[in-house]
Amino acid sequence: MDILEKCTAPSLARELKKKGVYPYFHALESRQDVEVMMEGKRRIMLGSNNYLGLTIHPEIIEAGIKALERYGTGCSGSRFLNGTLEMHLELEAELGKFLRKPGIVTFGTGFQSNVGIISALVGRHDYMICDKENHASIYAGCQMSYGKMLRYAHSDMAGLERCLQKVPEDHGALIITDGVFSMGGDIAKLPEICALAKKYGARVMVDDAHGLGVLGEGGRGTASYFGLEDQVDIYMGTFSKSLASLGGYMAASEEVADFVRHASRPFIFSASIPPANCATALAALRHLEAHPELPERLKELSLYARKGLTERGLTIRESALNVPTPIIPIYTYETYRTLDVAAKIYDRGVYVNPTLPPATPEGEALLRTSYMATHTEALLDEAMDIIADVMVNEHE
């Protein structure tokens, strides 16, 4: 059998392209902002993870330019060997102070961070216990490790406890959860997770890719929001969302960080974060520290959008634990209806992300909308009117 035969077999992607509703790989012709030029037309951007709107901030852009001029385009090696810049250490030190975790390890991407952390820490006789809606990079890390993975239904704390009860007493256990879940926008039940971890002697890791800059004191994330910074052992996060760059990190104790530096294959055998990306992440972090009002503005706009969508007759996913995040899913339920309305909304000048099974349960397809602190109420009203006109009026 030809191993490449699968590449020419009929597929959903080919079918959607033929029908003219293929929703992916739309090309930007401008900066990532609240309004963009995409395929020759102005679109209101409701599909970005640029939560604080910092990708276009002049000071942050200037920091990247200066780093290019000083250090060149890349490091041409891993952090383990020739690829450590003074600036990498500076970024790690400042991030450690901000997150109140002294041990920071930075990776080339967020995906690589989860793979690198989990595969380094979880050994052959250890267990990983995962929420079923965890990010794909967490599952990739679990697959690369030598441990055993157990899963519980989304936010089902009774299910989590049943998993913990299956772990032998002489084996290690790591509970891994998203802080803010990337598709649903809901928040992990961290107080209950930490209580169960303490009861069963497990450790806790939180993927806070969508929590940094969004929740907690000054945007410090999900653990800060709940006042549980001392009970979460490991944070993972990214620079590609609120910090307007590219890369990822682990925050933990000095001992855990040092172990991962010497045991993580994705860290040891990958080139380090390029100078411009490092500099922009550092500048964005400093900007967030200097402007703690940004997460508050993001919260205001998220509440405004949630209220506006509901008032326009759209069905949205409720905010779990009454914590508003800038990810607001609009239910469309059926796959082809989702693709149809997404295409019409796009044609009318609003970009949203259609989310289909298996990223959602069957029959629960949705449009994932996400918001920035730099949006205005007027711009959101314009976008919400278009979405409602397509979904409510055209589909009645």
For 144, 167, 178, 200, the CA distances from 129, given in Å and listed in that order, are: 15, 10, 12, 12
Candidates 249, 218, 274; CA nearest to 76 is: 274
Q: How far apart are CA 60 and CA 66, in angstroms?
A: 10
> What is each CA distance from 315 to 85, 237, 389, 392, 393, in whole angstroms?
49, 30, 14, 10, 14
Distance CA 299, CA 283 (A): 22
Q: At what angle do helices 293-311 and 377-388 cross, to 10 degrees?
A: 30
Q: List the alpha helices (DSSP H) in the chain.
A: 12-19, 58-71, 86-99, 110-121, 136-144, 157-165, 190-200, 222-226, 254-263, 265-268, 275-290, 293-311, 335-347, 377-388
Q: How many residues does the chain have?
A: 396
Name the residue among 266, 279, 229 with its Cα closest to residue 251: 229
Q: What are the residues whose beta carbons fall under 8 Å from the beta carbon of 217, sequence distance 6 or more?
A: 224, 225, 292
Give the tokens for residue 15: 């079918």
Catalytic residue numbers, as ranges: 182, 210, 241
